[in-house]
């Protein structure tokens, strides 16, 4: 089972990289089916590269660290 604490710990390591460009990420919820919902903040909002950040950065890192994560979705 994926815990909120475990995902927050992983996201805290990713926030360092997002902050370099003025961005941030907020954990919204973890669904029972392995989907993690996040909200991109700061300069990530409206950035044309935000989908790449979400998929190649955040989703990939979470799926490697937590095999129970099946997908990461952005919510507003």
pLDDT reading at 76 higher than 90: no
Look over the chain and give the mean of its residue pLDDT values, rounded to a whole number: 95
Q: How far apart are CA 69 and CA 28, in angstroms?
A: 14
* DSSP collapsed to 3 states, 2-31: CCHHHHHHHHHHHHHHHHHCCEEEEEEEEC
What structural domains and CATH numbers belong to the chain? 4-74 (3.30.300.130)
User: What pTM, to 2 d.p., does this model score?
Assistant: 0.93
């Amino acid at each position: 089972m994926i815990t909120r604490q475990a995902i927050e710990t992983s996201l805290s390591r990713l926030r360092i990289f997002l902050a370099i460009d003025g961005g941030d990420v907020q954990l919204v919820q973890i669904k029972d089916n392995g989907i993690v919902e996040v909200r991109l903040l700061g300069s990530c909002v409206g950035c044309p590269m935000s989908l790449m950040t979400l998929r190649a950065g955040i989703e990939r890192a979470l799926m490697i660290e937590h095999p129970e994560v099946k997908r990461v979705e952005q919510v507003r």
